[in-house]
Structures are given as structure tokens and as C-alpha cells.
A and B are shown apart, each in its own frame.
Chain A
């Protein structure tokens, strides 16, 4: 029962080599290359101006550091101040444009990615859906896409800016006093070594922290869900101890991370001030003037800040890479039931359905259907009857190819459904499932499912046709009445009627219905029965029946038992046979 490679991809654990990863990431950058090039250009100017700015202060300091005779014109001093402001202003304007360009490009990338992932998931087969928790699929669509786009718009750009700044600042310091900058190079080396060590340490701690956080959360989730068992078995103390262990471990690891930061950050800060002290010591022997000392002071902070941020950014890149890996893995999963290369597209079915020696199992050899054969003529209504687990519902889901059969053939209009385009097949078959799923939205969107081609007239006609109009008209907002999560503000019967409307609106040629077993009030029950009677005329209808009326009015009844067809015929003929159906009828429907 160990996971296959496809599953490994589905869960996102499969490793992707960095080279391929980069290639795939590059694909998203290419369409946005103009934005990135422009942003990059702006960043270059930005960094250059940023690096020049302290020079103004240097000139300024020198300008005013003279005695009465040598002092320069006041206009020059004021001019420097205004120049300083001008450059800052230009810089900020550039930052605005550059940030917005990147933001917009980034959002376009997220959009593309999200659509790609969503479309991909939408086309996955039912089987794959069953394998994967909905939660992790949603995380992929919502979160991972965001953190991946962060990579392009934020992380890489900031990293680039920091590196450029470091180079630029170093260049200027070199220009101001090459001797002093050579001495300061010693500090640079220390900073890099410290950063390198810090990064090694913190990466390890962070990895541990992430693992422990997720362990604690998994623990919490599991135990909150299983609290009933804990309480009944009186194991609160044991679980508390287990919890404390995890809680403590996480706290300690978090503290370790802070300890690493508490050493690193202040240390870099210490180096910064030491560098300033060295500037003082060496400055006098190199005869630096006041302006140059001030400039060095300013450059030093512009130099040390980016250095200590680089460690952070490298970590973010790693995080984004993990997200990307998971996304690519998911995109690599191939949908299971794909159309054959020359799948037949069919616009309209006549509605003849045939099962020829069909065998089916969800899991190997555990046969749910055994050699099932029957023919349903166009426009016939057929009821499937049998005990729970006899395979009735399975037959319905096989017709729309939710699953593939192992042996035999299913034919519609004498064409093997394996050769028919899945979409055209499902379009022709209107499915009304036992457990009606309603989406959050309005009554209207639940009937049309976001398809805007339908007019109000059409929707209302359909509602009237299936008897859903009566309760809809009573709603305060009619078709626009709000539907809350899972449709909990509608009764079972109302939901059933809505699902009828939903199906009929889409004009199917074949209808399949899995009747609900739940209790429905008598009034609605009557509406449903009438509605069903009308719907019979739409096309071929297959019903997993629980209502006596449905069964009595069927053209054919197929009785299933443990995956086999044991009796076939009309209600009357089956009763005359006095077989299984007869007994079932007497027990289940008579005097109930």
C-alpha cells in the first residue's frame, strides 16, 4: 500500500532537479520580460542615486566646515540641500514606478499560475480527487501560487538591489579613499564569514522549527478531532504530556533561532561601529577631512544593512522553491480518464443504453459488478432495485465514466462509451445525485452553475416544469435568494427539486437519478413525484429507486443482488414471478 509515483507527484514530494526547475520558472518570466527589464533598469538608476546621495552630505559638511574667509557662497550650501532633496524625490518616484511595475507583473504571473493550476485540478479524474484532501488542493491554488510569485516580484529583486548596493557603496568608498576601503575590506570578509555561518545555523534551526510546527499542528488537529476518544478513555493526562513535549520542543527551537539572531544581528552592528572607529583611527593618518569622515559614516550603514538582509532573502528563495516544486508536481499529474485520440464527439444521443458483460471493481478483484448485462431502449424508464451495496449507484456512475470498467462494454446508441468524448457524454447525461450539493451563491447560480447564456424566462420555465417554482416564488428574493454553505438553508426536498431544475435546464437526452432515502415532507414529496413523472418524457431515464411510485411506473425494473442482475421485468410481471422482488416489495413497500 505504498504510494506510487503518480501519488508522490500528487502529494508534491517528488524532487525536481534545480536545472529543470529553473527552466520551468523561466517560462513565467518570459512573457513579462519587458516589465522585468524596465524594473531592472529603474533599480540600477535607483541604486546609483542612493549611492551618490551621501556625497552631497560630504560636500555639504566640507562647505560649512570652513572659517569666515574660506567659506563658500551661501547659495552653494542651499543648493546642495535642494539637490539632496531633488535626488531623494526622484529616487522615491522611481521606487514607486518600479514597485508598481513589479507588482503588476507579479500579479499577472500569479493569475496565470492560478488559472493553470485550477484548470489542471478541474480536469483531474474523480479517482484522483478521492486520493487528495480538498484542503491541500486549495492550498496549492491559493497559497503556493502566491509564494511562488513572491519569488519573482519581491525576493529576487530585493536580493539584486542589495547586491548592487553593496557593490556600488564599496566602489564609492574606494573612490573616496582607496586605502581606507582596503582596510575596511577586512570587515567585509568578517561580515561574510559571519553571515555564512549564521545562514548555515539558522537554516538548520528554521527547518527544525517548520517540522516541529507542523508536527504540533498535526497533533492538535488529530487530537481535537479525536477528543471524544481521549475523553472516553480518560487519557487526557497522557495526551497533555504528549502535547507538552511538542509544545516545549517548539518553544526551545524558536528560542534557538532567536539566540542565533541575538548573536548575529548585534554582532554585525558591532562590526559596523568598529568600522566607524577604524575610520576615525585611520582617517587622521590618511588626512581625511570632516566631509569624508561623515560620508564614510553614512556609507558604512548603507553597506552593513543589505549584507545582513541577504541571509533572510536566501531563505525566502528556498521557501519559494519548495512551493514551486509542489505546484510543478501537481501540474505533472496526468488526469486519469482521458479521451482516446480519436474520441467521438456526439451532439445528441438517441438514448439506447446497453451493458454487455460488465465487470467492475474499485479495488482489484473486489468485484462490485459481476457480469452485468441489460438493454434499455430509448425513452424507457428503468428502475434499479436491490439492497444497499448491491451495485445500483455504481451502475449510474459508470455510465458517465466516473470510473473505467475492467471487463465488458457499456454502449450508448450502440457506441462503446470508451470511444466517446467524455465531455459530450456527460453533457448528454443529466445526473441527479442522492446527496444534492449546493454551492454558496444564489438559487439562480445553483441552477445555471455560472452559465450566463440562460435567460430568466428559461430558468423560470424550467423551475415551473420541475415544480420548483412554488417554493422559489415564496422566497423573499426569488431566484436571487442567497444559498449558504452547502445549502443548509434549504430542506432535503427543496434541494432535490433544485437539482432537478439544474439538470433539466441543461437539456440532457439521458437522465440518471439516485433517489434520496431521507425523509421528505408529504407536500414536497408529492411535488417531486409529479415532477419525476413529467421528466420521464425528456429521454431515457435510469433511477436508483426508493419510491414505490417510481418503481411502479417504470417500464422496466432491474433487480440487483451482490453485483449481479437477478431479475428483470415490469412491476406486474416481477410480482407474478414471486421471486426476490416480490418479497422485497412486500417487506419494504407494503403497509410501510
Chain B
């Protein structure tokens, strides 16, 4: 059994299933031991010419036992596996909740691939241990003990004779475990190498092709593939030797039992029972056959005993990984009794605000002070890496900020309930992530009860309605791999629609019109100014043209606020802004000259 703070409670919760399952296992173990007894009796009757009617009765007993075993085996399968699957599903649920609660920072530091492997491989290993692990453990212990007792009661000396080598099986199992681990690691390493090599090679294929190193890479891969084959063979050799050795010991035991047993029986029949330490062995043929039957049953628990140890260490390691994930501290939290912002006016104030990311030192912000008034439409511009995205990330409470430096509607953002705050903000991300769902559902993502109408409204706002209507399935088209591949511009506009239909007091567009042509961009900007007249909108942009007609513009320069003013004033005061405008004019000019 496996224990840990995240799983102990399941033993209690599923106690009935575990108890019924283990009882069923014990019952099956118990009654299956009657079969050798019956077989022995049949042999005895046939040998001594006893009552043949009795054999019929014994046959009926066998059927009764078989029926009981059927029931028991059915029961333990459906109870223990049921418990294991339920625990697996519940733990997965718990992990998913954790994943939903984890802040942005965690996802920066951890690869989705690793999280996925905890969700899949590790949970399966744990679940397997709950089902098969329990079964093997109960069998090994209980079946092992009662079979041994039955054997001892039948004949002590025979039991001792066959236990000597039987212990070898267990010792051999423990002994080989280390080698197994080593060979397993070697094999796994070789495989990982192969995997990584292929992965890197395919990722860096440009370099390989550029230097015409395909052949060399193929040769390098050949070496790794060869090594992989070699370690596989040597692992296989070890496991074949392991199995063969166990089989040989088992047949050695049978041989011992046959040889010694045969000798004892022969001597007893001849009337010259072998005395051992003054004790005369009175073994008869039927007893010997019964004994062989028990031995047959005992083999499985012995093998199981050898397997439990590695299985247990594997699942322990898996549980440790899962627990680590569930243990991660959630650093960005709503304060207790946080203020639940509702119908915000949309005033945002930065007061001597500084910020840097916890783990990496890119795009920090330094001593920003400015106030965005309710209903203003504000642009944010600056060079790549100047902190534009950081500015909106902190507004969404993706990270903790210094208390007393950032205010929404006059409330310190650190005192606000995060969920309520996020309800007040609609956001269009840079990377325009869409779910593999219908376009309608994607647009209505932020709504409780959206319908096609709301989706169309949003799509019209974002200038993507015509595109969507052009698809065969219209708004029911599924986006993503299995459906229609949307262009970058279409994705951007759909994610603008998604934010728009939320109709929040604050709308943030994070550099999201880069793949949209100038005309559509103008339409969207026009719509923003028309339809969000009294609501705050922040537009982060890399092109000056995007923000040229907004109320005010924030100009950032290497994390510092260079200026916050109307475009008109900025043309006089902000060097960065002036340069950006001139570059853009130059572009337009030459465009004009060409046409």
C-alpha cells in the first residue's frame, strides 16, 4: 500500500470497495486451495479402490468451488479497479484545479510537457499500484501463508525440502532488482538520447540543411540507434536470464519434491518409512499429489513478491512528483475579504510604480506615475522590450505588485478580489490563443449565456464577420487542427471579438492588430471609439498609426515613462514618439511613390 497526504483520504472514502475487494481476494485464495485436496482424494480413491461415488461428489465440489471463485474474482476486479480508477480520476481532477489556480509565473518556469506527463504517466502508475499492487500484495502474503500452512500440515519435511530453493526465488528477485534498475536506466538513457537527438535535429533542421550535414547527422544518428539496439539487447538478455533462472529453480523444486517425495512414498509403501530425526515420514501418493498441487499455487505469490518491490518504488516516485505539483504554493492570491469590484468606472492609476519579473529580468518597469481617466482610450507605444506587455500584465493581476502603487477606481489593486477584478477587464492577448471549439463558442468564451447573435455582434465589431460567414459551417466552424486553419489575422480578430462581447468597463488590446491589414485596423479602431465611448480602453501597439487618433498615448522607453500625453503634444515633446512617427511617414511616402 501507498501512503501520502494526498491519497490517504481515498482509503477511507473507498473503504467499502477496498474491503469487499480484499475480502473477495482472500476468499478466492482460500477456496482455490481446496482443489489440490480434492485431486489428492481422487488419486487416493483410484489407488486404493475406494468409493467411486465419492469422486462424483468431489467433482460437484470442484464446480462449487469454481463458481465461488468466479464470483470472487469478478468481485475483486470490479471493486479494486473501480476504486483505483476513481482515485485516478479524482486525483486528476484535483491536479486540474491546481493547474487552474497556478499563476503565470509557474507556467513560465515549467514546461507544459512535464505537467502533462504527471497527468498521464504518473497518475497511471499510481492507479496501477492501487489495483495490481493491492492484488499482488494480498496474494503474496495471504496465499503464501495459508498454502505454506497447508503444506506443513501435509508434511513438514517435504515443505522444508522445497522451501530451501523457493527462498532462492525471492532472494534472486531482490538481488536482480539492482541490476534491473541499472540496465533499465541504461536502456532508458539510450532511448532518451535517441529521442532528444531526433528532436533537436528536426528542430534545428535549418542548420543541418544549411551546412549540408544530412549525411553526417545520419551517421551520428546511426551510432545512437546502434547503441539503443545494444542496450535493448542487453536488457532483454538480463530479463530472459532472470525468467529462465526462476523457471529452472521452480523445476528444481518440483524435481526435489518428485525425487524425495517419490523416495518417501516408495519406502513407506515398502513398509520401511524413512526416519528423519526419529520421525518417520508417512507420505502417501495422494498426499504427494496434493502437495504438488499446493506447490503449483505457491509459485505465483513468490513471483509476485519479487515484483512488488520495484513496482512500489516506481509508484512512490510517481506519487512524489504528483504531490510536488499539488504542493506548489500559489503566490498570487486574492486577499481575505478582498473588495469585489463591480461596474467599475475604469479609472487606473499608477503611483510611482515599479515592477520586475520574479525570475527573469526582462522588461521591468521603473517608477511609473500616471492616471488613466474613466472612458479614455489610451495607446501604449515603445520599442520591443520596453515593458508594454508588462504594463497590462500587472493590471490583470498576473503577478503580485507592491501595495500602494497601482489603483483601480481608487482601490489598491492588491486589496481587490482577483476574480472580480478580472471580470471588469476584457483582454486581447498578443498570441491570440483560440480553443479547439466552434468559432461561436470561442467568441462567447467570456459570457455566461452567449448565442450566435452575440457572436455575430462581436465578429462585426472586429471586422471578421465576413470571413466567418465565408466558411462552410459559418459560426459553427471548429478552429484548430481538426477543423479550419485560421490565418493569423483571423485569429487576432476573433480574439478581439471575444474580448469585445464581454463588454467590460476596461478593455485591453495587447499589440493584437499586427497581422491585420491597415484598412481592417482602421475599422476596428473606429469601432472602439464609437462603441466604447464611456469605457476605458488601452491599446498596446507596435505601429504608431494604430494609436495616432486615440485620446492619449503612453510612451515607454526601457521601462521608464517617457511621456503620457495627447498625440498632438507628444509630437513636440517625446523624441521616441517623434522618431516612430517619422519612420512611419517615410514608409507611407515611399508607398505612395511606388503606386
Is A475 on the interface with B (CB-CB < 8 A)?
no
- The reply to whether A258 and B81 contact each other, CB–CB distance below 8 Å, is yes
- The reply to whether A64 and B237 contact each other, CB–CB distance below 8 Å, is no
Collect the chain B residues with CB atoms within 8 Å of residue A33's CB: none
Known: A1-B485, A437-B203. A276 touches B62 (CB 8 A): yes
Contact partner of B207 among A61, A74, A433, A440, CB < 8 A? Answer: A433
Collect the chain B residues with CB atoms within 8 Å of residue A572's CB: none
- The reply to whether A217 and B93 contact each other, CB–CB distance below 8 Å, is no
In the docked arrangement, what's the CA distance between A218 and B436, Å? 10
Residue among A104, A107, A135 with the most chain B CB within 10 A?
A107
- The reply to whether A583 and B586 contact each other, CB–CB distance below 8 Å, is yes
Collect the chain A residues with CB atoms within 8 Å of residue B579's CB: 587
Number of interface residues of B (CB under 8 A): 131
Q: Which residue of A lies closest to B272 (CB)?
A: A68
Collect the chain B residues with CB atoms within 8 Å of residue A220's CB: 96, 116, 119
B202-233 interface code vs A (CB 8 A; 1 in, 0 out): 11111111111110111111100110111011
- The reply to whether A255 and B208 contact each other, CB–CB distance below 8 Å, is no
- The reply to whether B100 and A96 contact each other, CB–CB distance below 8 Å, is no
- Min CB distance, A352 to chain B, in Å? 21
Q: Which residue of B lies closest to A251 (CB)?
A: B89
In the docked arrangement, what's the CA distance between A74 and B228, Å? 54
B552-594 interface code vs A (CB 8 A; 1 in, 0 out): 0000000000000000000000000001001100110011001
- The reply to whether A222 and B46 contact each other, CB–CB distance below 8 Å, is no
- The reply to whether A437 and B446 contact each other, CB–CB distance below 8 Å, is no
Is A30 on the interface with B (CB-CB < 8 A)?
no
Contact partner of B217 among A449, A502, A503, CB < 8 A? Answer: A449
- The reply to whether B35 and A229 contact each other, CB–CB distance below 8 Å, is no
Contact partner of B70 among A63, A103, A129, A269, CB < 8 A? Answer: A269
Contacting chain A: which of B259-267, B303-311, B316-324?
Answer: B259-267
Contact partner of B112 among A80, A115, A221, A564, CB < 8 A? Answer: A221
- The reply to whether B55 and A450 contact each other, CB–CB distance below 8 Å, is no
Known: A84-B255, A247-B93. A449 touches B202 (CB 8 A): no
In the docked arrangement, what's the CA distance between A272 and B73, Å? 14
Is B289 on the interface with A (CB-CB < 8 A)?
yes
In the docked arrangement, what's the CA distance between A426 and B207, Å? 11
- The reply to whether B198 and A142 contact each other, CB–CB distance below 8 Å, is yes
Is A338 on the interface with B (CB-CB < 8 A)?
no
B65-105 interface code vs A (CB 8 A; 1 in, 0 out): 11101110110011001100110110011001101111010
Is A506 on the interface with B (CB-CB < 8 A)?
yes
- The reply to whether A111 and B289 contact each other, CB–CB distance below 8 Å, is no
Known: A129-B205, A433-B210. A232 touches B255 (CB 8 A): no
Contact partner of A226 among B88, B116, B433, CB < 8 A? Answer: B433
Is A362 on the interface with B (CB-CB < 8 A)?
no
Collect the chain B residues with CB atoms within 8 Å of residue A141's CB: 194, 198
- Min CB distance, A243 to chain B, in Å? 5
Contacting chain B: which of A40-48, A233-241, A375-383?
Answer: A233-241
Collect the chain A residues with CB atoms within 8 Å of residue B47's CB: 65-66, 290
- The reply to whether B194 and A142 contact each other, CB–CB distance below 8 Å, is yes
- Majority secondary structure of chain B interface residues (helix, strand, loop or mixed): helix
Collect the chain A residues with CB atoms within 8 Å of residue B81's CB: 254-255, 258, 262
Contacting chain A: which of B402-410, B421-429, B455-463, B532-540?
Answer: B421-429
Collect the chain B residues with CB atoms within 8 Å of residue A195's CB: none
Contacting chain A: which of B5-13, B135-143, B243-251, B342-350?
Answer: B243-251
- Min CB distance, B351 to chain A, in Å? 24
Known: A138-B195, A584-B586. A293 touches B66 (CB 8 A): no
Collect the chain A residues with CB atoms within 8 Å of residue B199's CB: 134-135, 138
Is B394 on the interface with A (CB-CB < 8 A)?
no
- The reply to whether A115 and B69 contact each other, CB–CB distance below 8 Å, is no
Is B254 on the interface with A (CB-CB < 8 A)?
yes
Collect the chain B residues with CB atoms within 8 Å of residue A200's CB: none
- Min CB distance, B34 to chain A, in Å? 11
Collect the chain A residues with CB atoms within 8 Å of residue B225's CB: 110-111, 114-115, 118
- The reply to whether A263 and B115 contact each other, CB–CB distance below 8 Å, is no
Contact partner of A270 among B69, B445, B587, CB < 8 A? Answer: B69
With A138-B198, A225-B112, A439-B204 known, 13 other A-B pairs at CB within 8 A are A78-B263, A118-B218, A248-B89, A251-B88, A255-B85, A269-B73, A270-B67, A273-B69, A423-B212, A433-B206, A439-B207, A561-B591, A587-B586
23 A-B interface contacts by CB (under 8 A): A71-B269, A81-B262, A88-B251, A95-B240, A100-B233, A103-B237, A110-B232, A111-B225, A115-B218, A119-B218, A122-B217, A233-B445, A261-B77, A262-B78, A273-B63, A278-B59, A280-B55, A280-B58, A293-B46, A440-B196, A451-B213, A561-B590, A588-B583
